[in-house]
């Protein structure tokens, strides 16, 4: 219909326009171009499963496995229908009342949990098109097991210590009791548990002074002496407690889970503190190990050994101490170093497994193997393994969220460190202890994540020449990172690969563990809400340098707050700009719980709070969620495909590379169009980290320069590599950087002499520059002719991401300002025509107004706060709509747009407008009869209220009773709580007040257009709504417009309008907050309703007309036509999110008019 109208209009106006057309768009017979299919456009138009968002799906227990009428299949099918591509299953009992006994039947790893896992996989594997199921590696986080306790080597372990002065009596005796820490008698959750301290080392050091402020003793590093080999278990004497082994009686005392006798002696309520937490005692202790076949634990099953150290070989001839235990300068001190369990049960959760869980050790494979054993023995039978092999999802591990008092440790750590570092590390046990730290979290305005301030809190200090003690601690950190990667990550990867799963992880943070290096180790790199701004650019560098597809994100973690689509997309748009291309949202809870705990209507949800942000059918917007998920999916399809091209590589200081950078550290670069990744030394060891054609990793991100940003610490081999890069033509810029220190002790070529020599050599190279300010950096980039792919000048908040495929260049432009819109000219590198890719509708539309540049195009961009736009620069044809040979370069008012294949000028006001064409011609548009805006003052409102349904909620709490009431002649701007409901209506709605109502409002009205309305006319429907409302559909004369941009304040009614009376309806979805809070006795309420509504007519004028061109058989139908189908449209016509086109002043046009042929087009109504 539309195409034939346009043909008629073209025929009518061809004569008037012919004088201004200076080029033809006719194609010679037989000259049919051959087009290459675009990888990115193929993905955009036909997104695969990977492009779809996923959701974390919480279960509070495994009850679903025990019943027949579970709703797992229904839940997953509903998610798939709304556009989700999978779920991440997590058993979290944060808000639960599952008892220890019930955990034995319904907790993680039970038969019922295994049945639940199978039901999930069976349901997912039958969904057409696929549906991924990922699993968190254990309940909650960090990884836990109920087959260990803090006295086991496989549990999370820390270094502990005690020290004492070597007195005159000690020297005379020749032996001394090795200092032993005071026994800890609770775990970190304050549950009684008597810990053991397992011997690690005995060491002597000399006091050389005291810190002035704290009076901490200062020990001289160089006086360290190792007495580990002359320290032995103490033999019990008559009357002492002992444990007999091989006929020898060792002194000490029992430890572990308190028995009833021990508990009562220590004033502990055995029933509530021990039985309720650890479960019953075994019926017999006649079995190996500490846990019987039923999972019951022995009491006081461990032994704390006592130790003594032989001092005779110390040879302290010049040491003459007294017997006063107080330290003085010159005293020698004996350190006893031990390891003990941290006692971390799980990060902030209730019971998830029978008889108590504890966190596993990250630094030896036996630790994580304890968690994997539960999978292997209790979950992965042949059927479950086959289901997982078919699904092919991920095993997910959350961030390293450990709690510990001393430095991390493991039973074999001394040996492992010695092997890795190349020297005997036993001597340095107390030095490692001196590196003990504590963390303080400091909120920073404007930052989503707080700054983390790390301070030393050991009660003594080591002093050394050349910072040797610090370097020893740094070596310890590096060894831990190595063990995390080789003992922990590799173990999980190898195990998961056995059933066709991969390993997805938030592999941070540990001292010595490179953020980027750890990301390189995972199969799928993921961030969370602590990875923000440059932290995501750190993770992106790993993804881009490896050439991986995904940077995943645990997204929208504001689970306890109410949310709306704009809130969601403000977060997601920002994350996408910083490299994220797959989101796993918080979250979608399985709504039924054991004991019916907090699962009244609309069902259980994780986190509590006064909002209800569940991503499932309980939400009022759920039938319309495919529009939101379609936006996310198409955006991710673009950002997952092709290749990321990044302007600059920012190289991190070695020590800084272990920390997340939660701010934009180079804002000036972003404000001028430059994109950057934060690299560290780990990625420079990849095979891809080579310079060709003067860029780093040419087939990947193709960094145009590498910038060392405040680098004071660097390895010598990296300095040498930078010299090689510079020789190959890659510019190197040192910003406040003059590294003179390596991390850790010197080893081989990695020494300070080499570092300083190679940095000096680097600085003398022609393409190496040093700067101190951001402005100097900008000047040097200009001097070196290093421009950004997207160019603009001093635009605060605008960020550009660039991807490239076999056809064109694709830009994701994002306004990071909280409130301030962006309006600027942007030059985009690429060959061809600029197009917008609308992720809401899937439409690809040519940008009508642009200026050709030597290596790209310039467009004018208007972008609202936290909004984004995707722009392609590509040759026309093939996957891209054909365009006119002549385009618009500037207009003095209104705007030039493509409507289907037609290049038109559109105005909403009468006036005279100049249009400058790319061939130099000028068209003057005179609009005389644009109709005035029509304000719709009142509506009829059909309000569908959602609330509890007592008839079915006992079985399925997610089902809402939907009750519809009608309100006539509702004034625009009336909020729902202001609606004049009668007593009968409130009774019908089952609420006390209209402020308690949540639901769907369908507004209906009519408005009248003049009788001589014609095809040149159209109109926008402009509206304002409340923050927590979604305008999801507008219907005009029976034609439905959906997939409406959530940021939109106008919808294009296109050519659905008719002369005379027109009928319009608007569907508004509220959040479920008001009814949820009213039902759960919370006073918090939100407001809903349309606040203003205006129909704004516009006038369209054809700018170019010509004879019909032959169809290109390889071309797809115009995306614009598909969106504007009279059968119902996905086309919103929204011009609020992004506007492209140059508007120039009348004076500028007048200057051109004086020297050019001008065509005058007068548009008026037909009479």
736-756 residue pLDDT tens: 999 999 999 999 999 999 999
Q: Check residues 608 and 971 and name the one with the higher pLDDT.
A: 971
pLDDT mean over 303-330 = 95
Give dist(CA 6, CA 476) in Å, integer: 74
Tell me the CATH architecture of domain 934-1105+1118-1123: Sandwich (2.60)
More confident call, 607 vs 627:
627
* pLDDT exceeds cutoff 70 at 349: no
**Token pair of 689 as six digits:** 């980290």
What residues contact 655, with CB distance under 8 A and at least 6 apart? Answer: 713, 743
User: Is 1028 within 8 Å of 1063 (Cβ atoms)?
Assistant: no
Between residues 1138 and 461, the one the model is more confident about? 461
Phi and psi at 1060, nearest 5°, equal: 85, -140
pLDDT of 530 reads 86
**pLDDT at residue 350 is higher than 80:** no
Query: What distance in Å separates the CA atoms of residue 1047 and residue 506, rounded to the nearest whole number?
Result: 31
- Would the pLDDT of 784 be above 80? yes
Of the candidate ranges 370-384, 393-407, 1106-1120, the one whose mean pLDDT is the lowest: 1106-1120
Provide the 3-class DSSP secondary structure of residue 102: helix
Any residues with CB less than 8 A from the CB of 699 and at least 6 apart, and which?
547, 643, 688
As given in the structure block, the two tokens for residue 1028 are 């927590």
> Which pLDDT tens digit goes with each residue over 936-985?
999 999 999 999 999 999 889 999 999 999 999 999 999 999 999 999 99
pLDDT score, position 97 = 85
Could you tell me which residues come within 8 angstroms of residue 426 by beta carbon, excluding any fewer than 6 positions away?
201, 226, 228, 414, 418
Burial per residue of 1035-1058, b for 16 or more beta-carbon CB atoms within 10 angstroms, e otherwise: bbeebebbbbbbbbbbbbbbbbbe
The architecture (CATH level 2) of 47-144+474-640 comes to Alpha-Beta Barrel (3.20)
Per-residue pLDDT band at 95 (split at 50, 70, 90): confident
Is the confidence at residue 550, as pLDDT, over 90? yes
| Domain ranges within the chain, ordered by starting residue | 47-144+474-640, 643-786, 934-1105+1118-1123
> Residue 1116 is encoded by which pair of tokens?
């797809």
449 pLDDT band (50/70/90 cuts)? low
What tokens appear for 43 in the block? Answer: 């993905």
Q: Who wins on pLDDT, 349 or 1079?
A: 1079
Task: Give mean pLDDT, residues 901-911.
Answer: 95
pLDDT of 857 > 50? The answer is yes
Share of the chain above pLDDT 90, in %: 82
Q: Is the pLDDT at 848 greater than 80, yes or no?
A: yes
Q: Identify the H or E element spanning 752.
A: helix 752-763
Output the pTM of the full model. 0.91
For residue 555, what are the β-bridge partners? Answer: 585
At 561 the pLDDT is 62
Q: What pLDDT band is residue 929 in, cutting at 50, 70 and 90?
A: confident
**What is the mean predicted confidence (pLDDT) over 281-298?**
95
Question: Average pLDDT of 867-894?
Answer: 96
**643-786: CATH number:** 3.40.50
Find out whether 559 and 58 touch, Cβ atoms under 8 Å.
no
Kindly state the tokens that stand for 716.
């010598």
Confidence of residue 10 (pLDDT cuts 50, 70, 90): very low
Q: Residue 1083 — pLDDT band, cuts 50, 70, 90?
A: confident
893 burial class (0-12, 13-18, 19+ CB within 10 angstroms)?
buried
d(CA 913, CA 41): 35
**Please, which residues have CB within 8 angstroms of residue 969's CB and are 6 or more apart in sequence?**
938, 940
What one-character DSSP code corresponds to residue 459? S
What pLDDT is stored for residue 888 in this prediction? 98
Cα gap 253→52, rounded to integer Å: 58
Sign of the four-CA dihedral 1159, 1163, 1166, 1167: negative
pLDDT at 541 over 90: yes
Q: Is the dihedral of CA 629, 630, 633, 635 positive or negative?
A: negative
- Banded pLDDT at 93 (limits 50, 70, 90): confident
Q: Output 1136 or 309, whichever has higher pLDDT.
A: 309
Q: Given this model, what pLDDT does residue 317 score? A: 83
CB 844 within 8 A of CB 835: yes
| Confidence tier at 716 by pLDDT (50, 70, 90) | very high
Tokens of 84: 């989700």
Average pLDDT value for residue range 283-289: 95
In the predicted structure, residue 914 carries a pLDDT above the cut 70: yes
CA distance 814 to 792: 13
In the chain the first and final C-alpha atoms are separated, in Å, by 23
pLDDT above 70 covers a percentage of the chain that reads 89
Enumerate residues 6+ apart whose C-beta is below 8 A from 1021.
1034, 1036, 1050, 1051, 1052, 1053, 1064, 1066, 1093, 1094, 1095, 1096
pLDDT averaged over every residue in the chain: 91
b/e 1070-1108 (16+ beta carbons within 10 angstroms → b)? bbbbbbbbbbeeeeebbbbbbeebbbbbbbbbbbbbbee
pLDDT given at position 1108:
36
pLDDT tens track for 192-232: 999 999 999 999 999 999 999 999 999 999 999 999 999 99
Residue 1122 has pLDDT above 50, yes or no: no
The Cα–Cα gap between 523 and 735 comes to 33
* Mean pLDDT calculated for residue range 771-778: 97
Torsion sign over Cα 135, 136, 137, 138: negative
Structure confidence by residue, pLDDT tens digits, 1125-1150:
333 333 333 444 445 554 444 444 55
Quote the pLDDT of residue 11.
32
pLDDT (tens digit per residue) in 660-669: 999 999 999 9
H or E element, residue 366? helix 365-374
């Amino acid at each position: 219909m539309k195409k034939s109208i346009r043909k008629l209009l073209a025929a009518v106006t061809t004569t008037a326009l012919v004088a201004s057309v200076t080029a033809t768009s006719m194609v010679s017979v037989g000259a049919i171009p051959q087009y290459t299919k675009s990888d990115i456009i193929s993905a955009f138009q036909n997104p695969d499963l990977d492009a779809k968002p996923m959701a974390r799906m919480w279960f509070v227990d495994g009850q679903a496995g025990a019943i027949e009428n579970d709703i797992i299949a229904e839940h997953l099918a509903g998610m798939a229908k709304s556009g989700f591509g999978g779920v991440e299953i997590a058993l979290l009992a944060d808000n639960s009342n599952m008892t220890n006994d019930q955990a034995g039947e319904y907790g993680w790893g039970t038969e019922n949990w295994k049945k639940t896992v199978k039901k999930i996989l069976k349901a997912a594997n039958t969904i057409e098109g696929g549906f991924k199921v990922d699993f968190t590696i254990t309940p909650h986080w960090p990884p836990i097991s109920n087959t260990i306790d803090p006295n086991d080597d496989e549990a999370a372990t820390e270094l502990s210590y005690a020290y004492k002065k070597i007195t005159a009596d000690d020297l005379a005796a020749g032996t001394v009791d090795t200092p032993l820490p005071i026994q800890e008698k609770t775990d970190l959750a304050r549950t009684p548990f008597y810990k053991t301290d397992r011997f690690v080392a005995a060491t002597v050091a000399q006091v050389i002074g005291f810190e002035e402020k704290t009076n901490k003793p200062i020990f001289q590093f160089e006086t360290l002496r190792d007495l580990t080999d002359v320290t032995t278990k103490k033999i019990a004497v008559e009357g002492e407690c002992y444990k007999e082994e091989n006929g020898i009686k060792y002194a000490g005392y029992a430890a572990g889970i308190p028995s009833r006798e021990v508990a009562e002696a220590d004033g502990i309520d055995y029933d509530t503190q021990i039985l309720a937490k650890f479960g019953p005692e075994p019926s017999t202790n006649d079995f190996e190990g500490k846990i019987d076949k039923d999972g019951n634990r022995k009491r006081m099953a461990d032994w704390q050994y006592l130790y003594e150290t032989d001092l005779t070989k110390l040879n302290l001839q010049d040491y003459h101490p007294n017997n006063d235990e107080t330290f003085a300068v010159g005293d020698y001190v004996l350190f006893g170093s031990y390891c003990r369990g941290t006692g971390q049960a799980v990060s902030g959760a209730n019971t998830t497994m029978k008889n108590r869980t504890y966190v596993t050790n990250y630094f030896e494979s036996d630790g994580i193997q304890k968690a994997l054993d539960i999978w292997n023995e209790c979950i992965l039978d042949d059927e479950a393994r086959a289901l997982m092999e078919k699904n092919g999802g991920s095993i997910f591990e959350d961030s390293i969220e450990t709690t510990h008092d001393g430095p991390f440790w493991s039973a074999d750590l001394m040996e492992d460190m010695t092997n890795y570092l190349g020297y005997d590390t036993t001597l340095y046990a107390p030095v490692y202890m001196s590196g003990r730290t504590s963390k303080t979290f400091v909120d920073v305005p404007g930052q989503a994540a707080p700054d983390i301030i790390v301070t030393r809190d050991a009660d003594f200090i080591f002093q050394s020449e050349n910072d040797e003690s610090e370097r020893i601690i740094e070596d310890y950190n590096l060894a831990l990172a190595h063990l995390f990667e080789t003992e922990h990550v590799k173990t999980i990867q190898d195990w998961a690969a056995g059933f066709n799963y991969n390993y997805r992880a938030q592999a941070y943070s540990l001292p010595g563990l490179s953020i980027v290096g750890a990301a390189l180790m995972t199969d799928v790199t993921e961030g969370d809400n602590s990875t923000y701004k440059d932290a995501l650019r750190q993770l992106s560098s790993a993804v881009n340098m490896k050439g991986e597809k995904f940077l995943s994100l645990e997204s929208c973690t504001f689970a306890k707050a109410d949310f709306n689509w704009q809130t969601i997309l403000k977060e997601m748009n920002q994350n996408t700009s910083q490299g994220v291309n797959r989101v796993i949202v918080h979250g979608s809870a399985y709504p039924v719980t054991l004991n019916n705990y907090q699962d009244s209507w609309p069902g259980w949800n994780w986190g509590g709070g006064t909002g209800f942000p569940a991503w499932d059918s309980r939400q009022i917007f759920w039938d319309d969620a495919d529009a939101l998920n379609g936006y996310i999916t198409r955006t991710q399809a673009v950002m997952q495909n092709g290749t990321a091209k990044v302007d600059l590589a920012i190289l991190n200081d070695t020590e800084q590379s272990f920390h997340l950078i939660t701010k934009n550290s180079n804002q000036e670069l972003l404000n001028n169009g430059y994109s950057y990744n934060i690299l560290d030394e780990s990625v420079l060891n990849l095979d891809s980290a080579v310079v060709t054609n003067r860029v780093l990793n040419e087939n990947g991100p193709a960094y145009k320069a590498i910038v060392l940003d405040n680098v004071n610490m660097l390895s010598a081999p990296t300095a040498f590599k930078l010299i090689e890069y510079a020789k190959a033509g890659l510019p190197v810029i040192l910003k406040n950087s003059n590294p003179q220190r390596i991390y850790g002790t010197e080893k081989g070529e990695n020494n300070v002499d080499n570092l300083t020599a190679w940095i000096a050599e680097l600085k003398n190279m022609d393409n190496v520059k040093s700067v101190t300010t951001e402005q100097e950096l900008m000047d040097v980039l200009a001097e070196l002719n290093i421009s950004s792919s997207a160019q603009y000048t001093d635009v605060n908040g605008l960020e550009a991401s660039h991807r490239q495929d076999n056809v064109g260049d694709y830009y994701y432009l994002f306004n990071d300002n909280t409130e301030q819109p962006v309006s600027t000219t942007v030059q985009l590198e690429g060959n061809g025509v600029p197009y917008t890719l609308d992720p809401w509708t899937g439409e690809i539309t040519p940008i009508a107004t642009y200026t050709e540049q030597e290596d790209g195009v310039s467009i004018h961009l208007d972008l609202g706060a936290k909004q984004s736009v995707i722009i392609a620069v590509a040759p026309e044809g093939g996957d891209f709509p054909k365009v006119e040979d002549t385009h618009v370069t500037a207009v003095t008012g209104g705007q030039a747009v493509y409507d289907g294949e037609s290049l038109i000028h559109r105005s909403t006001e009468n006036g005279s407008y100049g249009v400058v064409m790319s061939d130099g011609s000028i068209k003057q548009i005179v609009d005389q009869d644009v109709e005035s805006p029509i304000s719709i003052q009142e509506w009829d409102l059909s309000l569908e209220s959602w609330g509890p349904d007592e008839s079915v909620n006992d079985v399925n709490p997610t089902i809402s009773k939907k009750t519809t009431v009608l309100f006539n002649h509702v004034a625009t701007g009336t909020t729902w709580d202001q609606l004049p409901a009668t007593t009968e209506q409130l009774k019908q709605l089952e609420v006390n007040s209209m402020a308690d109502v949540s639901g769907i409002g369908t507004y209906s009205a009519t408005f009248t257009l003049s009788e001589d309305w014609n095809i040149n006319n159209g109109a926008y429907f402009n509206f304002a709504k409340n923050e927590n409302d979604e305008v999801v559909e507008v219907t005009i004369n029976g034609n439905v417009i959906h997939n409406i941009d959530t940021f939109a304040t106008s919808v294009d009614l296109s050519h659905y309008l008719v002369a005379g009376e027109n009928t319009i309806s608007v569907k508004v979805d509220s959040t479920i907050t008001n009814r949820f809070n009213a039902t759960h006795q919370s006073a918090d309420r939100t407001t809903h309703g349309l606040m203003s509504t205006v129909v704004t007519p516009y006038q369209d004028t054809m700018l170019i007309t010509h004879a019909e061109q032959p169809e290109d058989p390889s071309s797809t139908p115009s995306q614009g036509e598909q969106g504007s189908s009279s059968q119902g449209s996905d086309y919103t016509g929204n011009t609020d999110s992004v506007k492209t086109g140059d508007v120039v002043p009348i004076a500028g046009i007048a200057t051109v008019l004086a020297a050019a042929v001008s065509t005058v087009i007068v548009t008026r109504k037909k009479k």
